[in-house]
Amino acid sequence: MTPASNAPENQTPDKTTDQTTEAPAPTFKLVSKPAADAPLADGGTITTSKKPRKAHKKADDAAPDATKPSASHAEGAKFVGKVRFVSRHREPSMFDVCSYRPIRNQSTGCLEFYVDPDDADRFAVHHHVASGRIVRAQ
């Protein structure tokens, strides 16, 4: 008996080949996104993490409070009787002069200094005022 005759008739001998078998291409199933707070199959619900938006008041809806002065009146009252100095050009950063903190004019970009009348002469001899970087406003 030969070894080939010992093998059962329905089996083929093992062969090593370089043939590779390709995996079947994955199939994708299109699923629509469930609506917020939709019930799931397991009985739970989907909730969104977004908070509900608040309604904004329009300018016409807001009634002015007669007991409170408006911001422009309150701010203007703070500088009554002060001498005003203004930078001639737009300043990239704010700087103190003689311990006075400026206020930036948002429309022009210039700095405004409000100085006590008693201290205006000392402020006027500062280097920035003497060089013309800051000028006295009318």
Tell me the pLDDT tens digit for each residue of 101-110. 999 999 999 9
What is the DSSP pairing of strand 83-87 with strand 111-115? antiparallel
Report, in this order, helix, strand and coil percent for the chain, each rounded to 5: 20, 15, 70
Average pLDDT of the residues of the chain:
74
Judge whether 57 lies within some domain: no
Judge whether 108 lies within some domain: yes
Query: Could you give the CA distance from residue 94 to residue 102 in angstroms, rounded to a whole number?
Result: 7
Better-scored residue on pLDDT, 92 or 28: 92
Measuring CA to CA, which residue among 137, 108, 95, 103 is closest to residue 120?
137
The token pair that represents 46 in the structure block: 């989907």
What are the CA-CA distances from residue 18 to residues 4, 13, 21, 37, 71 (Å)? 24, 16, 10, 54, 85
Instruction: Give tens-digit pLDDT for 53-75.
Output: 666 555 554 545 444 444 444 45
What letter does residue 97 receive in the DSSP assignment?
Answer: B
pLDDT at 92 over 60: yes
Note the helical H segments in 1-138. Answer: 3-6, 71-78, 120-124, 127-131
pLDDT at 97: 94
Better-scored residue on pLDDT, 12 or 112: 112
Judge whether 39 lies within some domain: no
Judge whether 107 lies within some domain: yes
What is the DSSP pairing of strand 134-136 with strand 83-87? antiparallel
pLDDT at 19: 62
Judge whether 99 lies within some domain: yes
Count: domains in the chain: 1
Judge whether 136 lies within some domain: yes
Domain that holds residue 126: 90-138
Task: Give per-residue burial for 75-99: e unless 16+ CB within 10 Å, then b.
Answer: eeeeeeeebebbbeeeeeeeeebee
Judge whether 120 lies within some domain: yes
- The pTM for the full model equals 0.46
Judge whether 97 lies within some domain: yes
